[in-house]
Amino acid sequence: MLTITNAKIITSDHIIEKGTVWIDDGKIVHIAEQLVSADEVSGEWLDAGGLFLSPGFIDIHVHGGGGADFMDNTVEAFLRVAETHVCYGTTAMLPTTLTSESEELLALFDTYTQALSRNVRGARFFGLHLEGPYFAMNQRGAQDPRYIRNPDPKEYMPILERYHPLIARWSAAPELPGALEFGRSVRNHGILLALAHTDAVYEEILPAVEHGYRLATHLYSGMSGMTRRNAYRYAGTIESCLLLDEIDVEIIADGVHLPEPFLKLIHKVKGKDKIILITDAMRAAGMPEGKSILGSLTGGLDVIVEDGVAKLPDSSSFAGSVATADRLIRTMIQIAGIDLVTAIQMMTLNPARLLGHADRIGSIAIGKDADIVLFDHDINVHYTYVLGKLCYKS
Q: How many domains does the chain divide into? A: 2
Judgement on whether residues 40 and 158 belong to the same structural domain of the protein: no
299 and 389 assigned to the same domain: no
The answer to whether residues 181 and 308 belong to one domain is: yes
Model pLDDT for residues 285-296, shown as the tens digit of each residue:
999 999 999 888
pLDDT score for 315: 82
Query: Is residue 373 in a domain?
Result: no
| 333 shares a domain with 306 | yes
81-98 exposure pattern, b = at least 16 Cβ within 10 A, e = fewer: bbbbbbbbbbbbbbbbbb
Asked whether residue 144 is assigned to any structural domain, the reply reads: yes
Domain hosting residue 338, numbered range: 56-359
User: What CATH number corresponds to the domain at position 338?
Assistant: 3.20.20.140
369 falls within a domain: no
Looking at the structure, do residues 73 and 22 belong to the same domain, yes or no?
no
What's 36's domain CATH number?
2.30.40.10
Examine the pLDDT at 142 and tell me if it is beyond 80: no
Q: In terms of domains, do 202 and 271 share one?
A: yes
DSSP helix/strand/coil, 119 = coil
Are both 280 and 235 inside the same structural domain? yes
311 vs 168: which has the higher pLDDT: 168
Query: Is 240 inside any structural domain?
Result: yes
pLDDT digits (tens, 9 = 90+) for 356-389: 999 999 999 999 999 999 999 999 999 999 999 9
Percent of the chain residues topping a pLDDT of 90: 88
Q: Are residues 77 and 128 in the same domain?
A: yes
152 and 23 part of one domain: no
The residue among 369, 330, 346, 366 whose CA lies nearest residue 273 is 346
Mean pLDDT of 94-103: 90
Q: Give per-residue pLDDT as tens, 305-348.
A: 998 999 888 888 888 899 999 999 999 999 999 999 999 999 99
Same domain flag for 215 and 343: yes
| Pairing relationship of beta strands 389-393 and 192-195 according to DSSP bridges | unpaired
Mean pLDDT (the chain, rounded):
95
Q: Are residues 47 and 74 in the same domain?
A: no
pLDDT tops 80 at residue 143: yes
Taking the model in full, what pTM does it have?
0.97
Residue 374 lies in a domain: no
Distances (CA, A) of 2 to 53, 372, 389: 14, 12, 9
| Co-location of 39 and 101 in the same domain | no
Question: Is 388 inside any structural domain?
Answer: yes
pLDDT at 192: 98
- Domain-located, residue 372: no
Report, as an integer, the average pLDDT of 234-246: 97
pLDDT at 198 over 90: yes
